[in-house]
Amino acid sequence: MTSKAVYDYRPEIDGLRAVAVISVIINHFNKDLLPSGYLGVDIFFVISGYVITGSLHNTSDKTFADLFLGFYLRRIKRLVPALILCVLITSLLICLFDSTPGVSLETGIASLFGVSNLYLLSQATNYFGVSAQLNVFTHTWSLGVEEQFYVLFPFIVWLTGFARQRRRGPGNLCLAIGLLALFSFIVFVRRSNVHNPAAFFLLQTRFWELSAGCLTFVGLNSARHFVLPLLMRVRSLVVMVGLIAALFIPVEFSVYGTICVVLLTALLVASIRPQTAAYKILVHSTAVYIGRISYSLYLWHWSVVSISRWTVGIHLWSVPLQLALMLLLADASFRYVERPMRRVEWSPVRWISIGYGFVSLVVAAVVLVVLEIPLSGRLYTGKLPKFVAAVVPSLTEIYRMSDGLSSWQGKTCILSYNSQVEKTFPIDECTLGDFVSAKRRVLVLGNSFSAAFVPAFDQLVLSDKYSVTITSSWGASPVPGIRNDSPLDKANNYYWNTVVPSLVSHLRAGDWVFLINDMAEFSPERPSLRSEQGLIQLRVGLATLSGQLSEHGVRLAVLDGLPFAREANCVPAVAASQWFNKFGGPCYFIPKEQTLSRRAKLNGTLSELQSQGTISIVDLIDIFCPRKTCTYEAIDGQMLYRDAWSHPSVEAARLSAPLIRDVLTAPVSVVPPERPDAVTGFRDPR
């Protein structure tokens, strides 16, 4: 390998791009086939760092303005036209099959301006979760990371003197990038353990991967007399086999998998030489072709996969057709949009050309806004299921009881963001029934699921003369004492440390605290040490909370685990039979037997506490899974969930009401004689 080869076009790099995009596509079709295939994106990051550094090193621009304008014009011409085409067509298509495409469209708008990774993080999206698979623009998060890197990198290259061919430029760049990469790597490892979505989506935690490519280029060019003899000893075929093997690492070891893929990619880029077996494989005409269209293929593959999930589904018979469609769309995009728009001169003036690109993005964004707002739901070609309330925002709506005299004020009683810390919860606005004169008081605590069950308490109030105070902190832990590293961690701490003790202090002997949460985290498909520790923390937290309440005669009820509807890869409109999902669509419904088996450890923990008189269990499994398979439909055909996040519908809450009422109207146990009228001694167990 000569130094010239480092500067010139390297066909083996395109072959490596083919490996990256193929691994991503396989993973997106079926995660079991290539568990870490999604790390193909990390291969792209290393390649981008390498190529971009070479591009800026070889520039003939003499001033920073020339460097800046030239670099961004190349990036805009390279990325924007194909992105706009894909986003517009995909947005139109999803509106035909999704009755509420707002999240997809908003992600699409964010992708046009290079911030979809930040938008997805703000939604607390799990890349491996159901909501991400149904969002037709989830994959654009990686473009956001790269585009944010492009904003920063030219400044570093110029200030270090690397782009100006200064003698110390390479060393300065290595020092600057090396320090930033080290910081980024440390943040990546730490956040992977405490807040995985942030580790996945943010530039801060991905910078070290792009830096690996940058440092590879600088090392090859600036220290080749030292580096090349060492690289001559490396067998690139072994490195490539190791790289492919790393794509089979189970996702549970994603941190190690990411590190392996990044380091092996950098080593392969540095060590591969003409005439070697790895080189011959990567420069095969098919590999080079796929690598050349890899950007368009990456854009379109997810559109095909995601929309297929909304419609025909993913089947053995459909995969060849879907692959063919991906290649057809990618080839057309490359031939007629991506390549021509890169070669044609948009304007003799660079900044005007950049302006054209920006205006095009704004126009495309306006089209998506029109699809989302004025045309919302109007392009949908299916039949909407009939139910009272749909989608997440309905959880915050005001609820009025059937007597018309009592209401729950929605947003007033919910912590939705960390910024709402210090918010007060007026009891009268968050209570159904007369709190002062009630025979019994029930305080409902929990995450967003507690808000979903507001309609379950009408008869308890009207017939049994109870009052029910419902509060919710989105993303809250089910009990205090369980570590919460979510984007709503401050709200969670404020809820359990301040809001809950204040509300509990108004309870009397014989009253109830009812915990309603999504317990799915305690019944993962693949149990782990973390899930086992979580169950222990749950047991301790419930016992501690119950002990504090029982000192004052207040009883504790807990909602048992519901079916794993969030994993069904579904939404209500698609769960119902539609003309476009006759072959199955995206919904993956879990058999009841499997559901009960997964829930067994959680149920055992709660049952043990119930047998000790510590809690009372509210088990709604037969309401939410009345057949052999846990679908979205109740026994009478009513829709059980209002969204893809498995929040129960109003209809499901009302079907659950009799079972909840049976538990909360159970005979009162003996109250300690020293019991005061109100619980004043409640303490947060932390």
The total domain count for the chain is 2
Q: How far is CA 237 from CA 15, 56, 133, 660, in A?
A: 13, 30, 34, 63
CA dist 489 and 471 (Å) reads: 17
Q: Do 358 and 412 sit in the same domain of this protein?
A: no
- Is residue 7 assigned to a domain? yes
Q: Do residues 410 and 396 touch, judged by C-beta distance below 8 A?
A: yes
Mean pLDDT on 204-228: 86
CB within 8 Å of 495: residues ≥ 6 apart: 415, 471, 473, 476
**Cα 415 to Cα 398: distance, rounded to the nearest angstrom:** 15
pLDDT of the residue at 685: 38
Q: Which amino acid is at 132?
A: A
Classified as helix, coil or strand, 661 is helix
Count CA atoms within 13 Å of residue 334 on its CB side: 18
Domain span at 335: 3-372
Please indicate, yes or no, whether residues 368 and 450 belong to a single structural domain of this protein: no
**Domain shared by 146 and 13, yes or no:** yes
Of 338, 372, 406, which marks where a domain is finished? Answer: 372
> Looking at the structure, do residues 566 and 622 belong to the same domain, yes or no?
yes
Asked if residues 575 and 632 have their Cβ atoms less than 8 Å apart, the reply is yes
pLDDT at 89 over 70: yes
Check: CB of residue 664 under 8 Å from CB of residue 512. Answer: yes
pLDDT higher for 523 or 531?
A: 523
- At 462-488, the pLDDT tens digits run 999 999 999 999 999 999 988 887 888
Whole-angstrom distance between the N-terminal and C-terminal Cα of the chain? 61
Q: pTM, whole model, 2 decimals?
A: 0.80
Question: Tell me, what's the pLDDT at 2?
Answer: 37
Phi and psi, residue 437, nearest 5°: -100, 5
Task: Categorize the per-residue pLDDT at 13 as very low, low, confident or very high, splitting at 50, 70 and 90.
Answer: very high
Taking the mean position of all CA atoms in its chain, how far away is CA 628? 30
Q: What is the pLDDT of residues 146-172, one digit of tens each?
A: 999 999 999 999 999 887 777 788 899
Q: What angle do CA 400, 564, 398 make, to 5 degrees?
A: 15
Residue pair 413/123 in contact (Cβ under 8 Å)? The answer is no
Contact 12, 265 (CB under 8 A): no
Q: Please, where are the H alpha helices in 64-206?
A: 64-97, 102-112, 116-122, 130-134, 141-159, 169-194, 196-201
- Alpha carbon 520 to its chain's center: 16
Q: In this structure, is residue 682 part of a structural domain?
A: no
Q: Both 167 and 287 in a single domain?
A: yes
Q: How sure is the predictor about 126, in pLDDT bands with cuts at 50, 70 and 90?
A: low
CA distance 548 to 359: 61
What pLDDT is attached to residue 290?
98
Confidence at residue 129, expressed as pLDDT on a 0 to 100 scale: 62
Q: Which of 303, 337, 372 is a domain's end point?
A: 372
* Pairwise CA distance, residues 569 & 584, whole Å: 11
Integer Rg of the chain from CA: 28
Q: Are 81 and 106 in contact (CB under 8 A)?
A: no
Q: Are residues 366 and 423 in the same domain?
A: no
Q: Answer yes or no: do 340 and 414 share one domain.
A: no
CA-closest candidate to residue 212, choices 185, 248, 249, 251: 185
**Phi, psi of 493, deg, nearest 5:** -65, -40
257 and 208, same domain (yes or no)? yes
**Given the structure tokens 């654009």, which residue do they identify?**
140
Q: Specify the CATH number for the domain of residue 428.
A: 3.40.50.1110
Share of the chain above pLDDT 70, in %: 94
**pLDDT reading at 3 higher than 50:** no
Is residue 673 in a domain?
Answer: no
3-state secondary structure 71-112: HHHHHHHHHHHHHHHHHHHHHHHHHHHCCCCHHHHHHHHHHH
Using the predicted structure, report yes or no on whether residue 662 has a pLDDT greater than 80: yes
Give the ranges where 551-586 is alpha helix by DSSP (H). 572-575
Model confidence band, residue 667 (pLDDT cutoffs 50, 70, 90): confident
Task: Specify the DSSP class assigned to residue 445.
Answer: E
Q: Are 108 and 117 in contact (CB under 8 A)?
A: no
Lowest mean per-residue pLDDT among 60-64, 217-221, 454-458, 506-510: 60-64
> In this structure, is residue 471 part of a structural domain?
yes
What is the mean pLDDT of the segment spanning 284-309?
96
Domain-embedded: residue 678: no
CA 399 to chain centre: 30
Which residues sit opposite 616 in a β-bridge?
A: 557
The per-residue pLDDT of the chain, averaged, comes to 90
pLDDT of residue 581: 84
684 is a domain residue: no
Binned at pLDDT 50, 70 and 90, residue 680 comes out as very low
**Pair (604, 558) in one structural domain:** yes
Is 258 found in the same domain as 215? yes
Inform me whether the pLDDT recorded for 6 exceeds 50.
no
State the pLDDT at residue 1: 39
Beta bridge partners of 285: none
pLDDT surpassing 90 at residue 686: no
Domain-embedded: residue 670: no
Cα 607 to Cα 441: distance, rounded to the nearest angstrom: 24
Please give the DSSP secondary-structure letter assigned to residue 480. T
DSSP per-residue codes, 415-460: E-SGGGTT----GGGSEES-TTT-SEEEEEEESHHHHHTGGGGHHH
130 lies in some domain: yes
- The helix or strand, by DSSP H or E, that contains position 56, with its residue range, turns out to be helix 40-57
How many Cβ atoms are within 10 Å of 533's Cβ, its own excluded? 12
Position 42 scores a pLDDT of 98
What secondary structure letter does DSSP report for 212? H
- Beta-sheet pairing, 466-470 with 431-432: antiparallel
Q: Please tell me the distance from the alpha carbon of residue 447 to that of residue 525, in angstroms, as a whole number.
A: 22
562: helix, coil or strand? coil
Q: Which residue has the tokens 């473009």?
A: 143
Q: Are 461 and 644 in contact (CB under 8 A)?
A: no
pLDDT > 60? residue 450: yes
Cβ neighbors of 155 (< 8 A, separation 6 or more) are: none
Q: What are phi and psi of 452, to 5 degrees?
A: -70, -25
Residues 266 and 145 in one domain: yes
Q: What is the pLDDT, as a whole number, of residue 292?
A: 97
- Write down the pLDDT at residue 671: 44
**Do both 361 and 414 map to the same domain?**
no
Structure-model confidence comparison of residues 403 and 491, the more confident one: 491
Mean of pLDDT values over 432-439:
95
Buried b / exposed e across 559-584, counting CB within 10 Å, b at 16+?
bbbbbbbbbbbbbbbbbbebeebeee
Give me the residues paired with residue 513 across strands.
443, 556
Show Cβ contacts of residue 88 under 8 Å, excluding neighbours closer than 6 positions. 364, 367, 368
